[in-house]
Amino acid sequence: MFSPGQEEPSAPNKEPVKYGELVVLGYNGALPSGDRGRRKSRFALYKRTKANGVKPSTIHVVSTPQASKAISCKGQHSISYTLSRNQTVVVEYTHDKDTDMFQVGRSTESPIDFVVTDTVSGGQTDDAQITQSTISRFACRIVCDRSEPYTARIFAAGFDSSKNIFLGEKAAKWKNPDGHMDGLTTNGVLVMHPRGGFTEESQPGVWREISVCGDVYTLRETRSAQQRGKLVESETNVLQDGSLIDLCGATLLWRTADGLFHTPTQKHIEALRQEINAARPQCPVGLNTLAFPSISRKEVVEEKQPWAYLSCGHVHGYHNWGHRSDTEANERECPMCRTVGPYVPLWLGCEAGFYVDAGPPTHAFTPCGHVCSEKSAKYWSQIPLPHGTHAFHAACPFCATQLVGEQNCIKLIFQGPVD
């Protein structure tokens, strides 16, 4: 039932307190090779049986690597800031009984609660894995208050197996006016809080960078530039429902327990699928009945699968005509309205965490053909997601494909049964 680091609640009949969930963008309900252990597309953060949070305590300024090592080997958590060959500032951390800490990163070592690897756009299998990952092994940590309202905060970098965070000479680091040290990780941890929460009315917020100590900065000129951005004093590292966390290779969506309570469930999406199929939509040319495949068969194109022309939205069954010699291979002419554009199979968006409302699946993202509610499609169509080291573009949340077209999504036009 519970992953490592998600202890079973002490009282057997008592529901464990859920702080929230992290959902990886680009996966439609599970990883292509299946969810396994700490490596999955969705991770729930539950209140731990015993608090494991830490808070800063003693600061040491040491002049030799040996002295720095002696402090970091004491078995306590610590963050080392190497200023030069002969000066390191080591900040010791002590137990905090009021918080729970969860760590996210590429490493499979035990301190990592949620293992995240690079998202390959287009929902390809993990075999198409990027050879050199840009995600940090110990990328970030989320610290949740154990008492209501269970506030969750994000910090760049995670503690390794020796309970250390080490910022070397080349890492961006500095001393704040109040005397405490801070720094940034190599590729940075970026966060964007949507304006207006995660609802149909939400607007995209501004992407910021989070420091090792949880302060908020404007973005660096490029992802791994030495010079930090400007401190944004009016903003905090508190996660809100719908906050996006970018680890340079994977983007995570934070959903609060309350937000999830108002989100459609997998059962709801399955009911919507059955409702569409019960209306017996037909191919307007072949007059055969179309049906969305069951959620468990969401990778295999089936005979009755609906296909759509993404320039106009007309839904058809699969057919082989309409190729134009003057267009690209995937472009076809719609027999209904003669519009030329991509012709693709439609897939139901199955990851409920990405829906901002429980509306019927009426819109498809272009060019991938994932289908969800109108408000969800319009929401994700306007969200700029980090791509590479300094680009941003909108992408389908279900497969991470970069969106194209005037609106990035299209309203589907189904034809009902003729009889």
Question: 188 near 390, Cβ under 8 Å?
Answer: no
Per DSSP, the three-state class of 25 is: coil
Measured CA to CA, the distance from residue 244 to residue 209 in angstroms comes to 12
Pairing state between β 244-246 and 189-192 = antiparallel
Measured CA to CA, the distance from residue 221 to residue 305 in angstroms comes to 45
What was the pLDDT predicted at 213? 97
Closest CA to 298 of 123, 41, 127: 123
What was the pLDDT predicted at 419? 46
The DSSP annotation for 235-276 comes to --SB--TT-EEE-SS-EEEEEEHHHHHTS--HHHHHHHHHHH
Per DSSP, the three-state class of 141 is: strand
Q: Give residue 309's pLDDT band: very low, low, confident or very high (50, 70, 90).
A: very high
Measured CA to CA, the distance from residue 188 to residue 219 in angstroms comes to 9
pTM above 0.75, yes or no: yes
What pLDDT digit, counting tens, does each position of 356-376 carry? 999 999 999 999 999 999 999
Length of the chain: 419
What pLDDT digit, counting tens, does each position of 131-143 carry? 678 888 999 999 9
Question: 281 near 360, Cβ under 8 Å?
Answer: no
What was the pLDDT predicted at 2? 33
Helical spans, DSSP H, in 79-210: none
Distance, C-alpha 162 to centroid of its chain = 28
**pLDDT surpassing 80 at residue 385:** yes
Give the pLDDT mean for 18-27. Answer: 95
What was the pLDDT predicted at 324? 60
The fold of 266-411 is Herpes Virus-1 (3.30.40)
Per DSSP, the three-state class of 415 is: strand
Q: Which helix (H) or strand (E) holds 198?
A: none
What pLDDT digit, counting tens, does each position of 244-276 carry? 999 999 999 999 999 999 889 989 999 999 999
What pLDDT digit, counting tens, does each position of 72-86 carry? 666 789 999 998 888
Give the pLDDT mean for 344-360. Answer: 93
Portions of the chain given CATH number 3.30.40: 266-411
Closest CA to 105 of 132, 134, 144, 135: 135
Share of the chain above pLDDT 90, in %: 58
